[in-house]
Amino acid sequence: MTPAAADNPELLFVPLGGAGEIGMNLNLYGYGPPGDETWVMVDLGVTFADGSLPGVDIILPDPEFIVERRDKLAGLVLTHAHEDHIGAVQYLWQQLKCPVYATPFTLSVLRRKLSENGFEGDMEINEVPLSGKFSIGPFNMELITLTHSIPEPNAIAIKTPAGTVMHTGDWKFDPDPVIGPVADEEALKRFGDEGVLAIVCDSTNVFTPGTSGSEADILDNLTALIAECRGKVAVACFATNVARLETIAAAAAANGRDVVLAGRSLRRITDAARENGYLEDVPAFLDEADAGFLPDDKVLIICTGSQGEPRAALARIAAGDHRHISLGEGDTVIFSSRVIPGNEPAISGLQDALVRRGVELITAKDHMIHVSGHPARDELARMYQHVRPKIAVPVHGEHRHLVEHTELALQCQVPSAFTVENGSVLRLGPDAPAIIDHVPAGRLALDGNRVVPIGGETVRGRIRAMWNGFAVLSVPLEADGRVGDIPVSTSGLFDDEDDPVLDTVRLAVREALAKLSAKALRDDELVAETARIAARRAFREALDKRPVTRIHLIRKN
């Protein structure tokens, strides 16, 4: 590096997750001489698998780029406690080993996750108060309280000598958020007055006109709907939406119903909330086991599983195998949640199962019983008026959201806007902003208790075996070249393990090996591969399937 370059520190933005998808947010800011930047990470989240990977529920961003530079990673700041922002910390932090910064509620949730997973790390955790200021390496941070669908959502103003970045995190402008203060728009304006180089902003609802609505608007509707119910009422919502839990509890109280929580994540979140002074006016929630002791018209059950998650409380209730809670004729389930794109089939199946039991459904399609936690277009425009950045960088959206948001930012008089993707290296300053490079940015899968690459043999082999079946042939080879009995075990190919096709396959292997010379028969690899090809061909001809085929060669002397 030339001394001149060393004198010219740059400010970089590199998303490794969350740009081109709604989920697994991982944002990096780098400041320093080119090639020798100090880095800070904002958020480290997961996304939920779509079912295309057998046995995998959780997907994580591949942190390889920053793991290679982890001696230059000065810290990780968590904007709020949603899974797509903190969910990967427990799986990836061991590779990063940097100090972690977050507000009290977010840390309460994080600590519970770490302890539930038997995490014995030596994590340096720094609790930052709301509106707190702190420094990480060359970055001077200031938190700005916004509103969202979880307590303590923060934007982070990141001040560097090259300029200030406003990283919004997830947000909306809710005039009455039920829990926590309204968004600190004065702070946003103050930063706008001082001058903001770039905004990195939530794109989730860029296609929604107007405003996102207020959490407080839900209370009257829920109260009125519950008043008409005669039997048990269950309300499904996102466990992390503490304001919604308070709203539902208030609607229940107005109708003389006690509230039972069904779902472990609800207990975890409400404990974290009470620990930090939220839900103070809400009476203690009852346990699942209490549900059966209350008259039907005196109970309201808040449950997880609004997205049709198969292991969540509502799915078990719908299947009739919940230990403590049953719903049937005369009971009502209210979905106080949106349908996350991709979850439609699971939700339809769940709702069918409930209706089959005689349960009445109420959803946000017909009643105003859910508001989004993300900004609609008018709120985005208001954010741009407050902050007046020179550069807009939409994130937290699929590609079409980012493109649309880029357009909107330009309409809002932002001089330049960039549609980035995971791995883009965007130079924000001091020279003209530009995407100057692309670094590796992939996905990892949580498979059981291991994190494995999505393109790796564990996942690919699982998919191959799932589609094609699996066969293992043990081939005993005598010293004189004779082949003994060939045991075959298969999975996913036959209903009858003595299927005659297996004899055809055995015969094909014998015939192929019989053609090998004495010299070739001494070559283990050649023998095994010859047997494998013969077996696969025989399977294909008999079944029109190409099972994953393995040979165990056993030499007998």
Which residues are at the interface with Zn ion (CB under 5 A)? 82, 84, 170
Shortest CB 27 distance to Zn ion, Å? 11
State which residue, 82 or 427, has the beta carbon closest to Zn ion: 82
Structure tokens belonging to residue 242 = 């503490």
Structural contact between residues 179 and 404, judged by C-beta atoms closer than 8 angstroms: no
193-202 burial, b at 16+ Cβ within 10 Å, e below that, comes to eeebbbbbbb
State which residue, 170 or 404, has the beta carbon closest to Zn ion: 170
Shortest CB 46 distance to Zn ion, Å? 11
Shortest CB 265 distance to Zn ion, Å? 15
State which residue, 168 or 211, has the beta carbon closest to Zn ion: 168
Residue 143 CA to residue 154 CA, distance in Å, equals 6
State which residue, 257 or 374, has the beta carbon closest to Zn ion: 374
Shortest CB 154 distance to Zn ion, Å? 11
470: how many CB neighbours lie within 10 A of its CB? 17
Tell which residue, 284, 291, 362, has the closest CA to residue 327: 291
Shortest CB 168 distance to Zn ion, Å? 11
Residue 94 CA to residue 315 CA, distance in Å, equals 34
Structural contact between residues 145 and 183, judged by C-beta atoms closer than 8 angstroms: yes
List own/partner pairs for 454-460 with CB under 8 A and 24 or more apart: 454/53, 454/59, 459/53, 459/56
Structural contact between residues 359 and 332, judged by C-beta atoms closer than 8 angstroms: yes
State which residue, 18 or 63, has the beta carbon closest to Zn ion: 18
Shortest CB 396 distance to Zn ion, Å? 6
Shortest CB 218 distance to Zn ion, Å? 18
Instruction: Provide CB contacts within 8 A for 367, sequence distance 6+.
Output: 221, 225
State which residue, 45 or 263, has the beta carbon closest to Zn ion: 45
State which residue, 391 or 395, has the beta carbon closest to Zn ion: 395
Residue 382 CA to residue 388 CA, distance in Å, equals 10
Shortest CB 274 distance to Zn ion, Å? 21
Instruction: Provide CB contacts within 8 A for 164, sequence distance 6+.
Output: 157, 158, 191, 194, 195, 196, 197
User: DSSP assignment of 169-228, as one string?
Assistant: -S-B--S--SSSPPP-HHHHHHHHHH--SEEEEE-TTTTS-S----TTHHHHHHHHHHHT
State which residue, 82 or 405, has the beta carbon closest to Zn ion: 82
Structural contact between residues 70 and 95, judged by C-beta atoms closer than 8 angstroms: yes
